[in-house]
Amino acid sequence: MQLVTIDDVPGGSVGARLSAGQILHLGRAARAGTIESWLPTTLQGLLSAGTEGLDVARRIVQRIELASDDERATLTEQGTLTNATIRLLSPIPNPSLIVAAGLSYRSHLREMSGTPAPPHPTGFLKSPASVWAPGRTVRLPPQASECVDFEGELACIFGRTCHNVAESEALSYLAGYTVANDISARDWVRAVWSAAAPWEARLTWEVNIMGKQLPGFTPLGPVLTTTDAIADPAELSLETRLNGQVVQSAAVSDLLFSIPQMIAHFSKWYTFRPGDVLLTGTPAGVGVGRRPPLFMRDNDLVEVQVDRIGTLATRFAGSAVHPAG
C-alpha cells in the first residue's frame, strides 16, 4: 500500500495512491456508520493508530481498487478520487524526530578521499522544520548559496514507539519507506577536512551539520510504501538524476551497516515515535565528492528515485527568488 498526505487543508489529509496512479482521499472514501469513519484524518495519526489503522486503510483501498468504472466516475465527481498530479505534502509533514545516518555507503566512503569505515553507525539530527514537500522548489539560501549539494537517500518511517530494540526486531517497528534528499550546504566542509586539532575538528563539523538544517533541505515523498510491500529494504536500489543525468546509482545492500543495525544502534539513545524518520545515508556521486565539485544552481532539477516507492523531484531557485511552494 502507498500512502500520501494530500495538501487540501492545513496539515493535510491522509490518502492513498492506487495501482493506476490515482490518489484516493481516504476520509471521503470512508463509509459512514462503519469503523472506516473512525479513520484518523492525517497519516501521522493513522500510523499512531497502529496496525488496526493501517488495516482499515488497506480495506478501503482494496474496495476502491475493485470498484466498477461507474463507481469510480462517481468518486471522481465527488473529489474522492483525483489524478496523480494533485498537490501533495511530504507523507509526514511534521515528524517529531529526524535522525540522519552518515558515512553509510561503502561507495561514499571511497569517494570521500577513502574515509575510514566507522566502527558503528554514525548520525546527526535534522530539524523537522527543514522538511519539504515533493515537487516544490527549494530556494538556494542567500547566506550559503554557492555550495548546495544533493544526497539521494532511502528514508524509514516508524510505525510504533521504538527505543532500545534488538536488531532482530528492528524492522517490525517501521510502518514503511519513502524517498529523501538530504540537501547540504557544503560551504564549511573544507574546514572539516583541514582541521588539525580535535577541538577544531569538532567545531567545524558542528557548523557543517548546521548547513543541512536550512528551510527546504529535507524533501520527503511523494509516498510512503508500507512494509508489507517491501519485505527486505536491502533489495531496493536508488538513483539520483540532475537535470536528467544520472549522478548517483546504488543498491541499498551497499550500506556498511544494515537498516536493522542502524535502528538498533540509534534506538539505544533516541525514542522514535510513529511518523518519525530515519534517513539511511547517501551513496557515491554527491557533488562535493566530484572533481570539480558539482553544486546546485538556479533552475536545476534533482530527482531521487527508489524502486517500488517512487520519484522525489526538487527544483532549485536562485537565492533572490522566493520558492514556488
Q: What is the DSSP string of 228-255?
A: GG-S-GGG-EEEEEETTEEEEEEEGGGB
- Could you tell me which of 9, 12, 69, 60 has the C-alpha nearest to residue 34? 60
Same domain? For 178 and 246 the reply is yes
Residue 232 is part of a domain; what is its CATH number? 3.90.850.10
Q: Domain boundary residue among 30, 54, 88?
A: 88
Summary mean pLDDT of the chain: 92
Provide mean pLDDT across the span 50-59: 96
Q: Which residues pair with 226 in a beta bridge?
A: 176
Residue 25 is part of which domain span? 2-88
Provide mean pLDDT across the span 45-69: 96
> One-letter amino acid identity for 140?
L
Same domain? For 225 and 145 the reply is yes
Same domain? For 170 and 212 the reply is yes
Same domain? For 96 and 82 the reply is no
Provide mean pLDDT across the span 130-150: 96
The SS3 of residue 148 is strand
Q: Is the pLDDT of residue 192 over 70?
A: no
Q: Domain boundary residue among 64, 88, 112?
A: 88
Share of the chain above pLDDT 90, in %: 82
Q: What is the predicted pLDDT for the residue at 321? A: 44
Same domain? For 155 and 250 the reply is yes
User: Which of the pair, 210 or 41, is modelled with greater confidence?
Assistant: 41
Same domain? For 96 and 230 the reply is yes
Is 322 a domain residue? no
Same domain? For 45 and 189 the reply is no
Residue 85 grid cell: 498530479
Q: Domain boundary residue among 88, 111, 126?
A: 88
Q: For the whole model, what pTM was predicted?
A: 0.93
> Which is it for the CA torsion 26, 29, 33, 34, positive or negative?
negative
As to burial, measured by CB atoms within 10 angstroms (0-12 exposed, 13-18 middle, 19+ buried), residue 102 is middle
Same domain? For 57 and 184 the reply is no
> One-letter amino acid identity for 102?
G
Q: What is the predicted pLDDT for the residue at 111? A: 77
Element (H, E) at 137: strand 137-139
